[in-house]
Amino acid sequence: MFSTLRYVNQPALSSAAKSFLTKNNGVAKRGMSIAALSGFEGKNFISIDQLSNEELRGLLDLSKKYRDTYGKGSTVDPVTAPKPLTGQSVSMIFQKRSTRTRVSTETGMTLLGGQSLFLGPSDIQLGVNESMRDTALVLSRFNSLVLARVFSHNDVLELSKHATVPVINALSDLHHPLQTLADLMALEDHFGDVKGKTLAWVGDGNNVLHDLMLGGAKLGMNIRVATPDGYEANEGILETTKKLAAENGTEDVFLTTVASEAVKGSDVVVTDTWVSMGQEDEYEQRVKEFDGYQVNENLMGQANPGAVFLHCLPRHPEEVSDEVFYSKQSLVFPEAENRMWTVMAVMAAQLGKM
């Protein structure tokens, strides 16, 4: 297995990113930012806004360090590569299926020397046959970490309240912080410094948007959001984003119901599924109400020259055209790969074994 892991695809840094690293003595700065994660040991990872700016920077830089060590192009032999999580384990609770979350966590934990245990709906009925409290306490006896991909945000909050080991929110109906780390890493790989760049969201005001606008504001990005009537972002999270925007010197959050208005003048265009798992009965209604929100060549033409496209996957043709999805503007596959480097960074930092 290890003989194949060293060939995990590693996207090349853009010339802008290389210049940024060189100009800012990237290696030295990366070491300093990773050191700032010393206070993250033992903490839960529930949403991006819980992170200080320094912790966010540290997690992104640790993710890049792991890619440099374990990714394609590394000169490190995967057999003799550092295994800081040897003897550690993570239980992975999946109420909702996911290709990227499962594969990235299991592979990443293996690369770091640890073990992972998948607990699907047929393996564990969270809060049904056993209380959430008891599940949290039992798993804490066996494992070093608990990762949970759940429907209700309250479930991950209750797990984190009772677990005696760090908990990772791998997705809830309110937050998706691991995805944001992967997205921001992809943008930094492409642009270098993203401060002052403008990020446009086109689609449902969902969990992916929530953490992305929080994280983007923390890095100094301007946030523009287009959602249909009735599909707006959570008001409380939106207010937190506005406060972060002010603290980090960005423009106020721009809100609209017209996709082209959000995309105009943007450097990044992002969308996500219009119909999340559990909303299948709403498919026809949602597709009708999201008319005009497909990211296609015409919509991307409203963005700045050199603008890029992100989608957390899986994608559907009504959300983005093939011409955009498979174009040079699309960063979706480096973005997907980054799910592994970023969850590796979170797990290592929570265990204080970086």
Active-site positions read 312
Work out whether the CA dihedral 214, 348, 150, 126 comes out positive or negative: negative
**Structural contact between residues 165 and 148, judged by C-beta atoms closer than 8 angstroms:** no
* Secondary element (H or E) of residue 160: helix 153-162
- Residue 163's SS3 state is coil
| Tokens 């930012």 belong to residue | 33
For residues 149 and 332, give the distance between their C-alpha atoms in angstroms, rounded to a whole number.
Answer: 21
Query: For residue 78, what are the contacts with CB-CB under 8 A and spacing of at least 6?
Result: 2, 3, 5, 6, 70, 111
3-state secondary structure of 345: helix
User: Do 211 and 48 form a contact (C-beta atoms < 8 A)?
Assistant: yes
Tell which residue, 291, 302, 337, has the closest CA to residue 104. 337
CA distance 256 to 234: 15
Is residue 351 within 8 A of residue 144, CB to CB? The reply is: yes
Whether 160 contacts 44, CB under 8 Å? yes
Residue type, position 235, single letter: E
And the tokens for 118?
Answer: 């998948």
- C-alpha separations of 321 from 93, 201, 297, 331 in Å: 33, 16, 8, 14
